[in-house]
């Protein structure tokens, strides 16, 4: 079940946040930077994973942290190995493959809720009108709650 949301995805009560990155991404902008700042151990583990496994576009990686936080990195962009660790552009093909992998992960892990931003539209450079139908196609019929943050609105941190 997909629910459109307005707000700050970092304030979600969902069990996981899924966001688009590139293999070997440096997490220096947007949501990735916010996640890196909030969970530095996640970024350290991500770098280690990329160094050891050399993931490909269209795959994903999930991190589980203290307190049950889960961050799912969807490899929606060209790898950053040849771009000075800066991500390349996103491609709809990568987004579709990553969403298919996300669906499999949601079913395997029995995740009850996942928050997703406007995937691959920032640094990735894709149009939301092209990406959103892929989210609906791959995740729309799940019983899992999929909160899609279509409008960002800064909210005060929860205490």
Across 66-70, 75-79, 152-156, which has the greatest mean pLDDT? 75-79
Average pLDDT, the chain: 92
Domain-wise residue ranges, the chain:
2-151
Of the candidate ranges 22-31, 66-75, 83-92, the one whose mean pLDDT is the lowest: 83-92
- CA gap 100, 80 in Å, rounded: 22
- CA gap 30, 33 in Å, rounded: 6
Per-residue confidence band for 110, with pLDDT thresholds at 50, 70 and 90: very high
Query: Is residue 62 a contact partner of residue 105, using CB atoms and an 8 Å limit?
Result: yes
Task: Say whether pLDDT at 159 is over 60.
Answer: no
pLDDT over 90 for what percent of the chain? 81
More confident residue, 157 or 115: 115
Helices (H), the chain: 30-38, 40-53, 92-109, 128-139
pLDDT of residue 146: 98
Query: Is residue 60 a contact partner of residue 154, using CB atoms and an 8 Å limit?
Result: no
pLDDT of residue 87: 76
Give per-residue pLDDT as tens, 32-70: 999 999 999 999 999 999 999 999 999 999 999 888 889
pLDDT of residue 153: 77
- CA gap 21, 124 in Å, rounded: 8
CATH of domain 2-151: 3.40.220.10
Read off the tokens for 145.
């709650």
Termini Cα distance of the chain: 29
């Amino acid at each position: 079940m997909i629910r459109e949301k307005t707000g700050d995805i970092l304030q979600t009560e969902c069990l996981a946040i899924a966001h688009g990155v590139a293999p070997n991404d440096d997490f220096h902008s947007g949501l990735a930077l916010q996640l890196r700042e909030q969970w530095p151990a996640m970024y350290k583990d991500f770098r280690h994973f990329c160094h050891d496994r050399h993931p490909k576009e269209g795959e994903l990686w999930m991190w589980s942290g203290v307190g049950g936080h889960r961050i799912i990195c969807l490899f929606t962009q060209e790898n950053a190995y040849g771009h000075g660790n800066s991500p390349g552009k996103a491609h709809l093909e990568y987004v579709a493959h990553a969403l298919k992998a996300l669906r499999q992960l949601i079913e395997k892990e029995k995740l009850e809720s996942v928050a997703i931003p406007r995937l691959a539209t920032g640094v990735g450079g894709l149009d939301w009108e092209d990406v959103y139908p892929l989210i609906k196609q791959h995740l729309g019929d799940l019983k899992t709650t999929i909160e899609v943050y279509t409008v960002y609105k800064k909210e005060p941190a929860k205490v």
